[in-house]
Amino acid sequence: MRRLLFALLNCSLITALVTLGAATLNLLYLMFSSDTEVASKTGMFGAVSFESVKNADGSLSVQAGLESWTPLIVVWVILTLGLFASFLTYRWLKGYKARLIEASKRG
């Protein structure tokens, strides 16, 4: 049981890094994919946003950040469950293989 909890913790940490990395890359994509000087975009299911506004003096004001944590949490939970399910499947198949090898040696 302790191994499963440790594996779940590892899966959750790995997927947290992947989720935050994906949000960062998505934000960078939103920043550099704008065709015009004035843009307002959201990405990653509305989790990150980018907005640029042209001021009266001709300069640009830029804002970027998180709009909502909910999409990030949903993505993180789905990825964690998927990775943990693959870990459990791998562990079961590894044990099944060992049992088949043991059975073939016996008889």
What is the full per-residue pLDDT of the chain (107 aa) written as tens digits? 899 999 999 999 999 999 999 999 999 999 888 778 788 999 999 999 999 998 899 888 999 999 999 999 999 999 999 999 999 999 999 999 999 999 999 87
Contact criterion met (CB below 8 Å) for 83 and 9: no
Distance of alpha carbon 81 from alpha carbon 11, whole angstroms: 8
Give the total number of structural domains in the chain. Answer: 1
Count other Cβ atoms within 10 Å, centred on residue 71. 19
Question: Which burial class, exposed, middle or buried, applies to 15 when counting CB atoms under 10 A from its CB (0-12, 13-18, 19+)?
Answer: buried
pTM: 0.83
DSSP per-residue string spanning 69-83: SHHHHHHHHHHHHHH
Token pair, residue 41, equals 């975009």
Region for residue 45 given its phi and psi (left: phi exceeds 0; alpha: psi -120 to 50; beta: otherwise) = left
CA distance to 8, 12, 28, 74, 96, per residue, from 41 (Å):
35, 29, 11, 21, 50
Determine the structural domain holding residue 50 and report its residue range: 2-106
